[in-house]
Structure 1
Amino acid sequence: MTTPIERRYRRLLLAYPRYYREHRGAEILTTVLEMAEDGHRPGPHLVLAGLRQRFKLPARSPLAWVAALLAAAVLGGFGAAAGTWIAWRTAAAVPSDQQVQALNAALTGMPGEAPLFPETSGQQGPSVLVLTDGAREWSAARVRDALTGAGWRIASFRESEARTQPREDTNASFPTTFGYWAATSGGLRMNGSAEVIAGKPFEDGGYYAATYRLTVWPVEPAVLRPLTVAGIVAGLLAGWLLVAALARRRLATALAAVGLAVATAPAYRFYREAHDVLVYERGAPYPVTVDGSHGGTLTLICTVAGVLAVVAAVLAARDRQALQPGWPGPVGPGQLRPGGSGRPGGA
């Protein structure tokens, strides 16, 4: 039968790596129970000593140190991407294609489906762009009514008039109306613009030539930058801990190093994206879009190859749990007594 205090210290021993608990857990548990009987409570020190063992690398293994630094750098980039992705999951959802199409039809007065272009901002957030061309007169009242009817609050609205020359092969100019507006709805923002030419500027066009541009995107979540930074820190720690857990096996360490080296390309991309997130203008009035169409396949291939190599490293490390030469061996309970030079966990 185990006592509550023994169960508590067994739980605290989980701070140590598994191989360390298997070789020294019984001795450490015996020692801390004796210390508890004498009125000492080594709980916090026990956890800190265990975490220190988890981060410990073999002193005479350059490969392990190189792999640990590489793992920390690579997983830091992946952690940044994960933190940014999680942060955007807390933002307002971009309206569905059907909702955007319905709103655009009401704004422009031109029914039918307009081309939709999903985009990614410099902060790695989603947005959708709608471009509409057709023959319909400009109506400020129609735009305002469509926005308020759909639950949008108009933040700004202005219109102006000028004469434009839509064709290069003629000197004719036509009266043109320009409209600009910005609106918000919950956690969403919108920018819209219109250019409507009155007359018959094109032989195959109607009496009006109208071009509308509509962009909808979610407001930057407050946790975006903190979670991006937290993801980097978590990735750095996770990378070091990964190699520290595998460092007792040279084959596992080598496999992990190869896999992480392959993953440096996507990690570099994720660091660049994290930099853009952190330096992006807070509350920017318009989302600066980025071209994410290039490098996606290479990122996926390198990520998958890196993950497979790390999985192979983990499987290789599980073949044998014996310690390599140079790791600390068992210590006697007397070395861990209060007042002596030793502490739980050989710290």
Structure 2
Amino acid sequence: MAVDRLLPTEEAEDLLDLTRAIADRELAPRAAGHERDETYPEGLFATLGRAGLLGLPYPEEYGGGGQPYEVYLQVLEELAARWAAVAVAASVHTLACYPVDTYGTEEQRATWLPRLLGGELVGGYSLSEPHAGSDAAALTCKAVKHEDGYAITGTKAWITHGGRADFYTLFARTGEGSRGISCFLAPGRHELLTFGKPEQKMGLHAIPTTTAHWDGAVVSPDRLVGAEGQGLSIAFSALDSGRLGIAACATGLAQAALDAAVDYANERTTFGRRIVDHQGLGFLLADMAAAVDSARATYLDAARRRDAGRPYSRQASVAKLVATDAAMKVTTDAVQVFGGAGYTREFPVERYMREAKIMQIFEGTNQIQRLVISRTLAR
């Protein structure tokens, strides 16, 4: 069902209407088939880019939508309610554009952002490594400076859109310690760049997640974003925004599960009554609805703080924690509402449940979110 949203402007309302129309036409009919067959949705991100949905929170002067984060996240939620994998990839693309917009030079912004924000180039975010996930400061991939640029050597892991993206915001070591990491706008294709076999994931099958192996590939000096050694601070500042993206995706997924459960409960009958009329089931659905509404409220609170220029790091962690835990519970309860049918692939709720799990893990596990929140309380 359509969510009753409180949007700041008529322009935002029109944008949400456009998003719903595109999502209903381009995403919803294709999601189940691609997820079942584990096939990539060719051309879909170009469609989203042409509609202006891949650069919404960035400046109009560079081809972005100039929208507040409050609006962008609700667009993302609508996409996720139709196809979570595509929404996650769109969120990652937005995250990958952040360093150039925020830390890039004027020349870098003018050169790269129009193509990035218009969806001509779709991006991935390459921070994690096989032995450096939550502990980003432990990464070992190196970028050694040469006359003609930086030679990158090492292995990166868990890259959404790996092997398919046109560019990667990549973090590599240029020195020692936590201040020895730098950020690069790395090309998506290079003769000395190879990708591992896509991970055999529990869900989000249509968008590949891979490792990347850099074997001395040289990137030009103008692809260094920010100063040498600034990479970790860039990564962490970007992750606050990325966590809000995942919170919105999780909320959209939970909303889809709730909608499916409510529809089924209104149609299915037992003991001569619709199952929604049995109090035990009705209360379960009520708790699911409350969880979805709460998740949405937390990410919108954080987004409005971000839009107002106020600190929002703690609120971003709260939103990511609350929304993804809610998605896991709501999708699990949706399977319960469907009973035995929910455990089959005939209905989408089993897929929703599988897709929800990863959202408690990426963009910082929920244990990391609790650590971030507790540290702010300790201060």
Same fold (TM over 0.5): no
- Structure possessing the higher radius of gyration over alpha carbons: 1
* Higher relative helix content: 2
RCO higher in structure (CA 8 A, sep ≥6):
1
What is the TM-score normalised by the length of structure 2? 0.28
